[in-house]
Chain A
Amino acid sequence: GAGVSQSPSNKVTEKGKDVELRCDPISGHTALYWYRQRLGQGLEFLIYFQGNSAPDKSGLPSDRFSAERTGESVSTLTIQRTQQEDSAVYLCASSVDGGPNEKLFFGSGTQLSVL
């Protein structure tokens, strides 16, 4: 595709519900990243995929958060038993091969609101 695509663009859920956020990276990009942007705070690294493997998931804030990637393409970030502090914009990015100088291309994000 032309860019990184994320869906849904907005998600409102009730506390305690599970949510799934989807990311379609740029075609051919092997590296994929998830970041979280809470109001008034900088982007926080969550997880990095190289292919379908996650060599670094150190940023996942708790075991309620999980992510997977299949076919070296689509990735899903799942948040179980959502809490109000999970409200944020969840951003996905991809790069060609995850090398140290490889530019990240970000999607427009999913705005998650937990009521």
Chain B
Amino acid sequence: QKEVEQDPGPLSVPEGAIVSLNCTYSNSAFQYFMWYRQYSRKGPELLMYTYSSGNKEDGRFTAQVDKSSKYISLFIRDSQPSDSATYLCAMSGPTGFQKLVFGTGTRLLVSP
């Protein structure tokens, strides 16, 4: 069983929709939870990170962490075609960003 599970998609939505992306994990030692966005042929770019449980909001993006369920989510409001990319969740233990465990990524397609 992988430490981090993520549905690969693709997830297709119309412009303006609310998008929900999710990951589950098995390692209870994870403390840092991140979401990266990766465009084709580019490296991942950090969108948001959360330490421990709770919610974090940044513009159209909201990240949620439920450590009791070992479940994290990223919500995108008012989705735009420019949001079309692969979204990767990543997690780590006390070392923080030094050693990340990634999900496989979910490919998101937002149609105009």
Contact = CB atoms under 8 A, between A and B. Distances in A.
Interface of A: 4, 31, 33, 35, 40-45, 48, 56, 59, 91, 93, 95, 98-104, 106-109
Interface in B22-36: 32
A93 B98 contact: no
B95 A103 contact: no
Contacts of B88: 42-43
B105 A101 contact: no
Interface residues of B, number: 26
A8 B46 CA distance: 24
B104 A42 contact: yes
A53 to B, nearest CB: 13
A104 B4 CA distance: 19
B41 A108 contact: yes
Given A43-B90, A107-B43, A108-B42, 5 more contacts: A4-B43, A40-B8, A42-B105, A98-B98, A100-B96
A106 B45 contact: yes
Contacts of A42: 2, 4, 6, 88, 101-105
Nearest to B8: A40
B81 interface: no
Contact of A48 (B8, B32, B51, B99): B99
B41 A100 contact: no
Most chain A CB atoms below 10 A, which of B4, B8, B95, B98 = B98
11 contacts: A40-B104, A42-B4, A42-B105, A91-B44, A93-B43, A95-B97, A100-B94, A101-B97, A102-B97, A106-B43, A106-B44
